[in-house]
Structures are given as C-alpha cells and as structure tokens.
Amino acid sequence: MNRKGGSGGREPNLGTVITASESVAEPHRLTPKGRATRERIVATAAQLMYHHGVAGTSLVDVHKAAGVGPSQVYHYFEDKESLVRAVIAHRLHAVLATLRGLDSMEGLRAWRDLVVDTYRQRNCEGGWAPTPV
C-alpha cells in the first residue's frame, strides 16, 4: 500500500467515477433476467466489499457468493474496477433515496437521527451506510 491510499500511485478521478457510475447505474439492452442477475452480482459485491473491503473482495468471492459463474461476472463487468464503479453507483442510489423528503428541518433531523443511530448500532464500524447493504 502506498501513501496515496493503495491506488498504485493513481489519484481517483471523480469525473471518471461519476461518468462510470452513470453508465453502470442503468444498463441498457439487458433482458429482465439479465438485469436481475447483474443486480444480484452488484448487491452481493456491495455486501462483500462493505464487510471485507475492496481489496479483501475478489471476483471469485463475488461470483461464488452471488451464485453465478465467473463468465457471468465478466459478461456484465470488464474487470474488478468496473464492478467497483457499479457498487459505488448502487450505494449512491441507495443513499440518495434516503435523502428524499429532506425538504424540511424535520426531514433533515430524521435523516440525521437515522445516521447517528446506524453508527451507534455498529459501534462506528463498517463505513457509512444508513441504508441496508
């Protein structure tokens, strides 16, 4: 691991992440079954990465836990980086969904309480995820 967070010296490019998450959030030209399979892979990867970290989660871990073959993972994702982008988009959409209704101080306070309670339940471990992972 290097001083820049283990990214091999590359700084993350937020523009690339945002662009990538937009393109992976709503895959086009997939059948309903394909969408469900892809979503299962992403949701499984999100949970594994939440518990084990990105570095501690391999594509083999993901395909085994999702109950799909390795070829299916590579059908939907070019590599681990593209899967990570899809996980980020998946989590971003979940977090943004919790922000609906924040058009008042009451809504903002309720959201704050949810975040604080979630942290307390987890002893402030495991990252920030006020929605189910």
CA nearest to 30, candidates 64, 77, 68: 77
Determine which of 7-11, 75-79, 89-93 has the lowest per-residue pLDDT on average: 7-11
Please tell me the distance from the alpha carbon of residue 17 to that of residue 10, in angstroms, as a whole number: 13
pTM: predicted TM-score of the whole model, two decimal places:
0.64
pLDDT reading at 99 higher than 70: yes
**What sign results for the dihedral spanned by CA atoms 103, 105, 107, 108?**
positive
DSSP-derived letter for residue 131 is S
> Domain locations in the chain?
14-98, 101-133
Options 1.10.1040.10, 1.10.10.10, 1.10.10.60, 1.10.580.10; which CATH number does 14-98 get? 1.10.10.60
